[in-house]
Amino acid sequence: MRAFHVFVGKFFEIVGTTGVNHGSLPAVKSEATGFDVIDRRATGSARYVCRDQSFEDAFEICVRRTLVQPVH
């Protein structure tokens, strides 16, 4: 099975993981205990906006950051 991920807007992605205590490995939705927010425009470790959040918090972070992004 593939890891759980959701695209929020053009630039952000939420990925389900096993959580920090279990190595933050990608996980399917039913096994995810934490969610990482990824900025798809960044590179390297800067891609991770935050790690090991609840899904609701991760989604809120994406929405708030999307609202403050300049329109190109």
10-37: pLDDT as tens digits: 899 999 999 888 888 889 888 899 999 9
Q: Determine contact, residues 5/15, Cβ cutoff 8 Å.
A: yes
pLDDT band (50, 70, 90) for residue 67? confident
pLDDT band (50, 70, 90) for residue 72? low
DSSP strand E in the chain: where? 5-8, 12-17, 34-39, 48-53
Q: How far apart are CA 70 and CA 23, in angstroms?
A: 35
